[in-house]
């Protein structure tokens, strides 16, 4: 499986890649045990706004992460009725821990960076749990991602597909075009649309990948 190939530290595969010594990894340009980091990964297929609520979306994130041997707890990158998006990651992990993709390439310097007009690093992609490049793969014809939030990461109560339970055309949810390289652009989309759903590892644990 793709999630296990990188255990050999191969360039471009999960578990390998280039680690910044500021984060406790090996020398840049060589594989090594990464320092603290949180993974941001997409579900393997697009979803309408009807995801059986936030618990249904969280379960998809959890099960797909488990299927490739990732041990961390993954939550859907969505605001919900009971929790704002910006509070999903544990407070102790919101600063000074980089947000990385499936290949351990840095997307954002920290969780809080996402909510302060942060943009993804240039030339770094978001991958699904099964290794597809979301911005290039045809699995996602529309390069939009659901978030249901304000620009600051609070729930957008009129635009989150009725707490992610409704996939009807007449209902709307807040989404962001991934081409903007910002995760919180304020675009309202029909909940019948099939968009990207991201999953975030909500706390750092050492050796989060299966050995």
Please give the chain's pLDDT, 211 residues, in tens: 433 333 323 333 333 222 233 333 332 222 334 689 999 999 999 999 999 999 999 999 999 999 999 989 999 999 999 899 999 999 999 999 999 999 999 999 999 999 997 899 999 999 999 999 999 999 999 999 999 999 999 999 899 999 999 999 999 999 999 999 999 999 999 999 999 999 999 998 765 554 3
Structure tokens at 98: 């980089």
Spatial strand order of the sheet with 172-177 comes to 144-146, 172-177, 187-190
Helix (H, G, I), strand (E, B) or coil at 57: helix
CA dihedral of residues 181, 12, 77, 123 (deg, nearest 10)? 0
pLDDT of res. 29: 29
Token pair recorded at residue 183:
């995760």
Question: Based on C-alpha coordinates, what's the Rg of the chain?
Answer: 16
Separation of alpha carbons 209 and 211, rounded Å: 6
Token reading at 35:
């320092």
40 in Cβ contact with 200 (< 8 Å): yes
- Write out the CATH class of domain 2-138+197-201: alpha beta
Q: In whole angstroms, give the CA distance from residue 40 to residue 107.
A: 8
CB 25, CB 33: distance < 8 Å: yes
Structure confidence at residue 9 (pLDDT): 31
Q: How many whole angstroms separate alpha carbon 164 and alpha carbon 173?
A: 8
- Beta strand ranges found along the chain (DSSP E): 38-42, 74-76, 99-100, 106-108, 144-146, 172-177, 187-190, 198-201
pLDDT given for residue 118 in this prediction: 83
The answer to whether 106 and 121 are in contact (CB under 8 A) is yes
Contacts for 145 with CB less than 8 Å, ≥ 6 apart: 42, 77, 175, 176, 178, 183, 195, 196, 197, 198
């Amino acid at each position: 499986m793709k999630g296990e190939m990188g255990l050999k530290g191969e360039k471009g595969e999960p578990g390998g890649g280039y680690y910044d010594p500021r984060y406790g990894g090996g020398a840049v340009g060589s594989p090594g045990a990464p320092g603290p980091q949180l993974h941001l990964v997409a579900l393997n297929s697009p979803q309408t706004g009807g995801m059986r609520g936030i618990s249904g979306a969280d379960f998809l994130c959890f099960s797909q992460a488990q299927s490739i041997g990732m041990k961390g707890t993954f939550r859907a990158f969505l605001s919900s009725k009971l929790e704002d998006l910006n509070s999903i990651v544990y407070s102790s992990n919101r600063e000074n821990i980089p947000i990385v993709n499936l290949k351990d390439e840095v997307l954002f310097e920290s969780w809080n960076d996402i909510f302060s007009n942060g943009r993804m690093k240039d030339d770094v992609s978001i991958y699904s749990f099964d290794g597809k490049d979301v911005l290039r793969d045809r699995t996602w014809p529309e390069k939009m991602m659901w978030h249901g939030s304000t620009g600051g990461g609070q729930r957008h109560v009129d635009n989150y597909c009725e707490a992610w339970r409704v996939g009807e055309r007449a209902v709307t949810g807040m989404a962001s075009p991934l081409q903007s390289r910002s995760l919180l652009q304020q675009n309202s989309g029909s909940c019948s649309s099939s968009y990207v759903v991201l999953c975030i590892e909500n706390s750092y644990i050492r050796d989060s990948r299966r050995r």
